[in-house]
């Protein structure tokens, strides 16, 4: 694992999830680590997160190992982490998701020379206080850790300018340490192509995973009365919701599904709605674009920087309800060939965001930080 002339010893840390339905940060962590492991032997360190499942002894001294390609995912108790670092002596520690146990890596850096990179997928202080409404003690611990990560990391990666600008509202950033790298799209979403407008009605898809998506759901509810076109809206969620069946709009509620099923589900859909007022970068929108869905996103989501109105999708201000109505009216009136051009352009944009391409940007950062 020692660094050679051509190799950099990268150690990843955070949360490595192998479930079927992952959060955006979990998707990013898994994808970047696995891209890295295609040509490098590496290690991903995580913690025994579930306090109901693991004992105090396990959380302090436990060790579990899983093989991933030619690398390993180590789940370690707190007192196991520094000995593991001493054994491996990484050149770079990449904190790829936000977790409180990662404070330990900064303690290690006080004693040993190592570079630390932190991925800021979202603004934890903002999410905890404004969206999740967590108790004070949890907010305090998260704020303490987030401040250390942002202040003390050698480089902080943001998925968009929107994310970096919002962090600046809560913390004073040293812009010399800030890097903007987009999230990516899995190859599997390019395998199934949609056939836009197979029916007379537009078919739109929207995700509602958690409280971070509530603002988009709320916007859709407010806009319903002003949407006059025939429209099917498929909402993917595991949350119990009720929506009225209004005039020309028909709602379908589907459970969240694994990526393999999701790519197939998109095959006969036309539009993807990303309507949130806070979204640092919508991986879900990128995946839908790869499958040929036309994105309709708010300018408050990071992926909007890749959207050109009327070329590969549409973007509008979250607080302009009429913007959503006007875009849906425009799409409904378009000829099939023009919809196909929009769909094809969305796919081409998503191709630039494949994880294999995004990883190359990460690797260039690893090289730069160790030179």
pLDDT score, position 302: 94
Backbone angles phi, psi at 76, to 5 degrees: -125, 145
pLDDT score, position 366: 97
What average pLDDT does the structure give for the chain? 91
Quick one: DSSP state of residue 54? S
How do residues 90-113 score in pLDDT, each as one tens digit? 999 999 999 999 999 999 999 999
What superfamily would CATH give domain 10-184+355-370? Glycogen Phosphorylase B; (3.40.50.2000)
Residue 168 CB partners (closer than 8 Å, separation 6+):
none
Would you list the domain boundaries of the chain?
Answer: 10-184+355-370, 187-351
Other C-beta atoms closer than 10 Å to the C-beta of 71 total 18
Backbone angles phi, psi at 347, to 5 degrees: -65, -45
CATH no. for 187-351 = 3.40.50.2000
How do residues 108-158 score in pLDDT, each as one tens digit? 999 999 999 999 999 999 888 888 878 889 899 999 999 999 999 999 999
C-alpha 371: how far from chain center:
29
Strand, helix or coil for residue 45: strand
State how far the alpha carbon of 315 is from the alpha carbons of 36, 163, 224, 296, in Å. Answer: 33, 17, 18, 6
Burial of 3 (0-12, 13-18, 19+ CB in 10 A): middle
Residue 201 CB partners (closer than 8 Å, separation 6+):
230, 231, 232, 250
Q: Is the model more confident about 226 or about 106?
A: 106
Strand, helix or coil for residue 358: helix
pTM: 0.91
Residue 191 has pLDDT above 80, yes or no: no
The yes-or-no answer to whether 10-184+355-370 and 187-351 have a common fold is yes
């Amino acid at each position: 694992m020692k660094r050679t002339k051509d190799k950099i010893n990268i150690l990843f840390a955070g949360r490595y999830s192998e479930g079927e339905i992952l959060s955006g940060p979990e998707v990013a962590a898994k994808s970047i680590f696995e891209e890295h492991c295609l040509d490098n032997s590496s290690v991903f360190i995580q913690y025994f997160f579930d306090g109901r499942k693991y004992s105090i002894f396990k959380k302090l001294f436990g060790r579990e190992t899983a093989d991933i390609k030619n690398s390993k995912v180590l789940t370690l108790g707190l007192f196991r982490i520094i000995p593991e670092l001493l054994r491996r002596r990484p050149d770079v520690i990449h904190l790829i998701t936000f977790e409180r146990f990662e404070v330990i890596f900064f303690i290690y850096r006080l004693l040993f020379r190592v570079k630390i990179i932190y991925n800021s997928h979202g603004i934890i202080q903002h999410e905890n206080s404004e969206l999740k409404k967590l108790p004070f003690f949890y907010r305090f611990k998260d704020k303490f850790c987030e401040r250390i990560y942002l202040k003390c990391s050698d480089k902080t990666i943001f998925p968009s300018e929107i994310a970096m600008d919002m962090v600046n509202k809560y913390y004073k950033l040293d812009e010399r340490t800030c890097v903007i790298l987009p999230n990516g799209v899995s190859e599997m979403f390019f395998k199934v192509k949609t056939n836009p407008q197979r029916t007379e009605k537009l078919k739109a898809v929207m995700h509602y995973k958690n409280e971070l998506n509530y603002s988009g759901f709320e916007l859709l509810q407010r806009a319903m009365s002003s949407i006059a076109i025939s429209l099917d809206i498929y909402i993917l969620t595991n949350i119990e919701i009720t929506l009225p069946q209004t005039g020309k709009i028909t709602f379908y509620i589907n459970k969240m599904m694994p990526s393999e099923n999701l790519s197939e589900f998109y095959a006969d859909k036309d539009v993807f709605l990303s309507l949130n007022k806070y979204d640092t970068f919508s991986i879900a929108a990128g995946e839908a674009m790869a499958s040929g869905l036309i994105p309709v996103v708010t300018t408050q989501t990071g992926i909007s920087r890749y959207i050109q109105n009327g070329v590969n999708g549409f973007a509008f201000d979250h607080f302009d309800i009429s913007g959503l109505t006007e875009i849906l009216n425009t799409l409904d009136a378009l000829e099939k060939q023009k919809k196909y051009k929009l769909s094809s352009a969305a796919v081409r944009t998503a191709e630039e965001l494949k994880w294999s391409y995004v990883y190359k940007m990460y690797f260039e950062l690893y090289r730069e930080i160790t030179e």
